[in-house]
Structure 1
Amino acid sequence: MPHSGVATFYDSNGSGACSYDPSPDPLTAAMNTADYEGSKACGAYVLVRAANGASLTVRITNLCPAPCKAGQLDLSAEAFARLAAPSQGQIPVTWTLASPELSKKISIRYKTGSSQYWCAIQVIDHRNPVARLEVQSGGQFKQLSRADYNYFLSESGSGCGGAIAVTDIHGQRLVVDPLPVKPDVTQATGLQFAAH
C-alpha cells in the first residue's frame, strides 16, 4: 500500500533510534512516529518516489520525532539530493515497502550487558521488516517483546543463547541455530528472507 507524505532531510551519520552501527551506505531515512510503530520499521527498505519521477530505495535506521507528520520521511542528505535539489527543503513523495536483492545475510547481535540471565537480541540486515522474534526455552519457542530501540527483550533470561526464530511481516519464519551470548558481537546466520 503506497503512503503519501513529504520528504525532508537531516545530517545522518547512519546510526539512530534503531540502534544500528553507523552504515557505509548513505541512503538511509528516519521514519515518522506513526509508521515507526515502536521500532517495527527499523531495517525496512522503502522505495521513495518524488513527483519529478526520481526514485530510490532507502533503509530505515532512525525515528523522525514531532513535528514529523504521518507519512513523512526524513532522508539522509545524500538520499534527498538524489530526488531533488537540497534548496527545496521538502518535497512531496509517495513510498512503499521494498524487498530488494541483498548480498548480506541476516545477523544477530546481543546487547551490551546480555548474559544467560537477561538478554536483548537485535536482528540486522534483514530484507523484509521483522514482525516477531522468539527464543527456544525448555523445548518451546517463546515470543519476546520489542523495545522501541529495536531490541527484543528476554528479561527473565529464558532462551538466552538458545535457538532464535525470526518472522517477517509476510509470515516467513527463519530458525537460527543457537548462538553464544556475546554482547556487542554481530554474528552471521547464513539465512535471509525471500523477496516479496
Structure 2
Amino acid sequence: MLVRHHFTRWLLFASLFMILLGSYAWQQQSFAQNPATITNPWAIRQGQATHYTATGLGNCSIPVPNDLLFGAMNNPDYATADYCGAFVKITGPLGSVTVQITDRCPECQTGHIDLSPQAFDRIANRVTGIVPITWQLISNSATTGKVSYHFKDGSSQWWTAVQPRNHRNAIAKFEYRMGQAAYKVAPRFIFNYFIAETGMGTGPYSFRTTDVYGNIIVDENIGLGDDVIRTGTQQFPYMTPPGSATPTPSPTPRPTIPPESLTNHVWLPYTRK
C-alpha cells in the first residue's frame, strides 16, 4: 500500500509538470511569430477610431513620439507587434493625421485604431468619441537619421533581445550573425523585441533587417549591450505609394510636448486605462 501511495503521488506530480511545461511552450509560441505577416502594405483599410490616455510605454515597448501623435493598433492587426514603430496615415471626418503605432488595443476589433487625444483632435471633434476612418500603412518620409538597435535590459551573450528603432518602414524580419557565420532569424515577440533565446554570442554582430516592402539593410560591428542603444549606419529608403508622385517631406513642424506622464513601462499583461 505504501509503494502504491508513493507511485500515485509521483504520477500526479509528473502529470502536473507536463501540463505546466506544455502551457509554457504554448505561451512562448504564442508570443513569437514567423516573419512578414503584413502581406499587403499598400492596402487602404477601413475601421473606426477612438481615443485614450496612455499610462506607460505600451506593448510595443518604445517611447512615444515627442509630438504625442501615436496610436494603439487593434488586436488582430497588431498580431505579434507587426505594426510596432511603423507609421499609419489616418483620415477621419475632419482631416488626416500620421501617427506612430506604439501600443496594442486588446479589446479593439479589426480596423480599429485607438488614438492619443492629440491625434484624434486632428481627424474629429474629441467629444464625438468614436468615428469612422480609413487608414494606410506608410513609408514615413519625415523619418530622418539612421536605424538604431536597443538591447533590452538583461541581454547577454546567452539571452539577447534587440529592438530596431527609428525605422522609416515597418519591419518584417530581423537576422543576426557573428563573424562569417550564416545569418539566423530572431523571432519577434509580442512586446516588440527580436529575441535569440540561447543568445547571439559575445559580439560584435552583423544585423540584417528586412522591411515589409522587401528592402534590406545591413549594419556591421554592433556591440553587445544591456539596456543600451547602438546607432547603425543605414536607413530604409522612402517607398512611394503606387500611382502617386514622390512627395516633398512636409515642412510643417509638429509641436514638441514633453510626455512627463508616459515614463513608466507597462509589461504584459498590459492594462489599458
TM-score by length of 2: 0.68
The reply on whether 1:94 has 2:134 as its aligned counterpart is yes
- 1:117-166 deviations in Å (ceiling 9; x for gaps): 11001000111110000011461101011110000011111356311111
Larger radius of gyration: 2
- The count of residues paired between Structure 1 and Structure 2 equals 194
Q: Distance in 2 between matches of 1:119 and 1:160?
A: 10
The runs of 5 or more residues in structure 2 that have no matched partner are: 1-42, 240-273
Cα deviation, residue 186, structure 1 = 1.6
Structure number with higher strand proportion: 1
Which residue of the partner structure matches residue 105 of structure 2?
64
Cα deviation, residue 83, structure 1 = 1.1
Q: Distance in 1 between matches of 2:67 and 2:147?
A: 17
CA RMSD of aligned residues (A): 1.4
Q: Distance in 1 between matches of 2:201 and 2:157?
A: 8
The reply on whether 1:181 has 2:224 as its aligned counterpart is yes
SS in 2 for 1:131: strand
Q: Distance in 1 between matches of 2:74 and 2:202?
A: 32
Answer yes or no: is the 8 Å Cα contact 1:119–1:160 preserved in 2: no
TM-score by length of 1: 0.94
List, as ranges, runs of 4+ consecutive aligned residues in structure 1 with deviation greater than 3 Å: none
Q: Distance in 2 between matches of 1:177 and 1:46?
A: 30
**Identity, % of aligned pairs?**
38
Cα deviation, residue 180, structure 1 = 1.5
Which residue of the partner structure matches residue 116 of structure 2?
76
**What are the equivalent positions in structure 2 for 1:104-123 lying under 5 Å apart?**
104-123=145-164
The reply on whether 1:166 has 2:209 as its aligned counterpart is yes
The runs of 5 or more residues in structure 1 that have no matched partner are: none
- Match among 194, 198, 202 for residue 156 of structure 1: 198
SS in 2 for 1:192: coil
In structure 2, the CA distance between the partners of 1:94 and 1:14, relative to structure 1 (3 Å rule), is: farther
Q: Distance in 2 between matches of 1:40 and 1:159?
A: 26
Q: Distance in 2 between matches of 1:21 and 1:55?
A: 23
Answer yes or no: is the 8 Å Cα contact 1:14–1:23 preserved in 2: no
Structure number with higher helix proportion: 2
